[in-house]
A and B are shown apart, each in its own frame.
Chain A
Amino acid sequence: METIKVDARGLSCPQPIVETKKVIDKLSGGRVEILVDTVTSRENVLRFGRNAGWKGSFEESEDSFKVILEK
């Protein structure tokens, strides 16, 4: 299954959500990885994904978070 990647690092609220929404609105399922760099953006994207019916998790690296949405 193809993974779609979104780089939302450094974007102000609520642009990480807007970028994520643009991608998942076109999909019925699959895996989307969104890179963000603040805990606030991580929580916002996770909450948005879960509210949209996706399963959400995240991985932390040194300077960013990878939010993973799957359905």
Chain B
Amino acid sequence: MNRLLMSKNGPALAGTIIGIIAALLVKFGNPGNMGVCVACFTRDVAGALGLHRAGVVQYLRPELAGFILGSFVSALLYREYRPRGGSSPMIRFGLGFFAMLGALVFLGCPWRAYLRLAGGDYNAFAGIAGLATGIAIGVIFLYRGFSLGAARQNPKASGYFMPLLAIALLALLIIKPIFGAEGTGPVFFSVKGPGSMHAPILISLGAGLLVGWLAQRSRFCTVGAIRDLIMLKDTHLFKGIVCFIVAAFLANVALGQFHAGFEKQPVAHTMQLWNFLGMVLSGLAFTLAGGCPGRMFIMSGEGDSDAGVFIMGMLVGAAFAHNFSLASSGAGVGAYGIPATITGLVFCLAVGTLFMNRVD
């Protein structure tokens, strides 16, 4: 299995299995077309920790802890655990922040964009078109020498932070501490809305561990797939997302979860310009940072502190998105979602331009 995952067909194999897992997680209770959504799950974690108070999106999603721990164990087993960091960490924090804002304007990360399509949500077309556009803009910067600088090797213990954080989040999920002044908190769990919809903990955690392992071995990346196709005409990661979409689509049909159309799709809106531009922002931010949000979780498990900082940016971005009314809802974009998207695009274009420093 390891040899297969490491082969040129590895991402396709991983994509197929992850697509089926995603459809099954919906069957087991996750919100519609949200078997796996790295951005939505991070947003739910931010809510559960009280960083924002949007009552409908608060849950300590164990899938995310599984991604980190699955990758960590896999990296240790195959001698790929290499703590590293120090490549413009604050800029990466900012990229994570704005990648999250873009994802919450669209209502999904690249993983969920593909899963929404596989569930029949045609609004995903605008999002995926935006994602590809954002990635293409990022590729232009990469061709012009964009780099956030080289990371350095870090002491071995520096890579333990994210796996320990994952364990801490799992502990909070199980203990459910409640000693807040209002009889709730400090950890919050939605009683209605998407945050209240989740598969049983052990199934979610098991799925997360499996996805973490599969993605660590195969380098499955939902942004690198389009980037490498555009830049290098290299299809090996792209086959991964094609298989991911097809497998999730077939599993959705088999499970009676495929509902085609634009209207009344789960956790989605029909403002196509902002579906598109939200994902332009996300696609560009992920490309400048070097990979999709799932890949960031996987790399953080391998000991990459810069990926960990990016995730912290996502977490804080999610809190701001809800506290400042930037996130969309089924009704459409948030009150200040449009200026936030434009601000994020300006930030990413500025980063892309200012870090074109490796031109010969």
Q: Which residues of A contact B (CB under 8 A)?
A: 9-15, 17-19, 21-22, 37-40, 43, 47-48, 51, 63
Q: What is the total of A-B residue contacts with beta carbons within 8 Å?
A: 62
Answer whether residue B77 sits at the interface, using C-beta atoms and an 8 A cutoff.
Answer: no
Answer whether residue B143 sits at the interface, using C-beta atoms and an 8 A cutoff.
Answer: yes
Answer whether residue B322 sits at the interface, using C-beta atoms and an 8 A cutoff.
Answer: no
CB-contact partner of A18 in B80, B86, B143, under 8 A: B143
CB-contact partner of B153 in A18, A22, A40, A63, under 8 A: A63
- Are A40 and B150 interface neighbours, CB within 8 A? no
Cβ distance B310 to chain A, nearest Cβ, rounded Å: 10
- Are A13 and B80 interface neighbours, CB within 8 A? no
CB-contact partner of B232 in A12, A17, A43, A63, under 8 A: A17
Cβ distance B167 to chain A, nearest Cβ, rounded Å: 24
Q: Which residues of B contact A (CB under 8 A)?
A: 6, 8, 78, 80, 82, 84, 86-87, 142-143, 147-153, 219, 221, 224, 227-228, 231-232, 234, 236, 289-291, 302, 306, 358, 360
Q: Is the interface of B mostly helix, strand, loop or mixed?
A: loop
Taking A10-B87, A22-B360 as contacts, is the C-beta distance between A51 and B234 under 8 angstroms?
yes
B221 to chain A: which residues have CB within 8 Å?
Answer: 13
- Are A14 and B150 interface neighbours, CB within 8 A? no
Taking A18-B142, A47-B234 as contacts, is the C-beta distance between A12 and B148 under 8 angstroms?
yes
A11 to chain B: which residues have CB within 8 Å?
Answer: 87, 147, 150-151
- Are A13 and B234 interface neighbours, CB within 8 A? no
CA A22 – CA B143 in complex, angstroms?
9
- Are A10 and B151 interface neighbours, CB within 8 A? yes
- Are B152 and A10 interface neighbours, CB within 8 A? yes
Cβ distance A42 to chain B, nearest Cβ, rounded Å: 10
- Are B80 and A38 interface neighbours, CB within 8 A? yes
- Are A13 and B8 interface neighbours, CB within 8 A? no
A-B contacts, 28 of them at CB < 8 A, read A9-B150, A10-B150, A10-B151, A10-B152, A11-B87, A11-B147, A12-B147, A12-B148, A13-B221, A13-B224, A14-B224, A15-B142, A15-B290, A21-B232, A22-B360, A37-B84, A37-B153, A38-B80, A38-B82, A38-B84, A38-B302, A39-B78, A43-B6, A43-B219, A48-B232, A48-B234, A51-B232, A51-B234
CA A35 – CA B326 in complex, angstroms?
43
- Are B142 and A14 interface neighbours, CB within 8 A? yes
Taking A18-B142, A38-B80 as contacts, is the C-beta distance between A12 and B153 under 8 angstroms?
no
A38 to chain B: which residues have CB within 8 Å?
Answer: 80, 82, 84, 302
A40, closest chain B residue (CB): B219
- With A12-B290, A13-B221 known, 8 other A-B pairs at CB within 8 A are A10-B84, A14-B142, A14-B228, A14-B231, A15-B290, A18-B142, A37-B153, A39-B78
CA A47 – CA B231 in complex, angstroms?
14
- Are B147 and A15 interface neighbours, CB within 8 A? yes
CA A28 – CA B289 in complex, angstroms?
32
Q: Which 9 A-B pairs have the closest CB atoms?
A: A10-B150, A12-B290, A10-B151, A13-B290, A39-B80, A11-B150, A40-B219, A15-B147, A63-B153
A37 to chain B: which residues have CB within 8 Å?
Answer: 82, 84, 153
A19 to chain B: which residues have CB within 8 Å?
Answer: 358
CA A71 – CA B302 in complex, angstroms?
33
CA A48 – CA B232 in complex, angstroms?
8
